[in-house]
Structure 1
C-alpha cells in the first residue's frame, strides 16, 4: 500500500516564494501599456543595445520611432546618446518626432533636452537641423526657475556652447525670450565652474555674446580649489 506523499514545511515556503516571484514579474510585465506592440519594445531594445541593423529592419517593418514606456526614456531619447547618431537620423527618417514630449524628467522630457543632458552636440545639431522646437520646456507646468527650456538646461548643465548656439538661433526667430535669457544669466552667476576649465571657457563666450547685445551680467561664479582641497572657499570672480 502506497504511503501518502508528505512535503516538508520548508518546501512549502520555497513553493510560496516561487509563486510570489512569478506574480511580481508578471505584474511588472503588465505595466507596459496593452496597446504597446512588441515590435515597438523590440525597437527600444535595439537602440539601447546598439543593434543598428535590427533597428532599421524594425522601422522598415512599421515599428514606431516615437515609442516609449511610461516614465522611462523612449526611442528618440535613447537615440541621442553619444555614438548613436545614425539611430537618431534613421528614427527621424521614419517619422521620429524631434519635439516629442515624454513625462520622464524635465532634463530628459524632449529629444533636445536629452541630447543636451547626454552632452552630445552631434545629436543636438541633428535635432535642431530637423526643426526641433527650441523653446519647448521640459516641465511646462513649472515656474521659470525650473522650466527646463533647452537653453536653460544647457546653461544649468554647463553646456554653454550649445547654449550659445540656441541663443543665436532664437535671436534669428525674433526677440530673445526674456525668461530664458534670465535663466541663462542666473546659471552664469550662480553655477560654480572651475576657472579656466573647458566649460568656463564656453561660458565666457556666452557672457561676451550677451554683453554685446546689451545684457548686464554680474560676476560669474567660480572657484580655485575643489571642496576637498586645503583652503577651499567658493567665491565669485569678475
Structure 2
C-alpha cells in the first residue's frame, strides 16, 4: 500500500526523477511542530495513507492549523473525522470543506481515483446504522477505494440481504454494521469469500447496553473470517478495509 514511495522509486528507475530529487522527497522533515500538534508528514510514506485529523476535542483553529500544514506539505486530500456541524461552518469560512453531517466527516480536497484491488461493500442492519456506515464508506473512498453501499438488509428480513448476493460475492472486503444483537456480520461471513469487518453500533433497546451486546455477539461470531472493531467505529472499519483492499504480495 506504500504507493507514494513506490512511485518515487519507479520514477527514478524510468529516469523521470533524479536520484537527488528522490532523496529530497524522502528526506523531507518527517513532522512539523506547530506548538499544539506535531503533524506527521511521513505517514503516507510509512503506512500508505496520510494523516487523518480527529476533530473531537480540537478547536476549529487547531483543525485549520493542522489542515493548512498538511496542505502546505503536499497533501491534496484531508479527512477530518468526528467533526461537529458548528466547527465545520467555522472551518468552511476559511478553507473549502465538504461536510457530511450524518457521518460527522469533513473532507478538504477531492477523493482520489479508486486504486484498490476490488470493491469495499458497506452493509447495515438498519437505517439507524447509516451514520456509522457513512463514516466507514467515506473513509474508504478518501483512501482510494470503490465503495458499494447496501443499507437496511438486517436479519429481521433476511430476503433483503439475499437479494444482493452478487454484490456480496463480488466484494474484496465487507464492512457489516449492526446494532441490536449484531447478527448481520455472522450471516454475511457465512455467504462471502472475503474478509468481513464487523462494526457494532449503539443502536438498540434496553439491555443492548449502548452497543455492548452487539459487540459481544460479533466477537463470539460462529462464522470464520470476521474481525471486529469498537462500537460505532466506522472510521476504523473503513481504514482497515482500505488496507485489505490495497494489499500487495510482498516478495523476499
For normalisation by structure 2, the TM-score amounts to 0.31
**Higher fraction of helix:** 1
Q: TM-score, normalised by structure 1?
A: 0.32
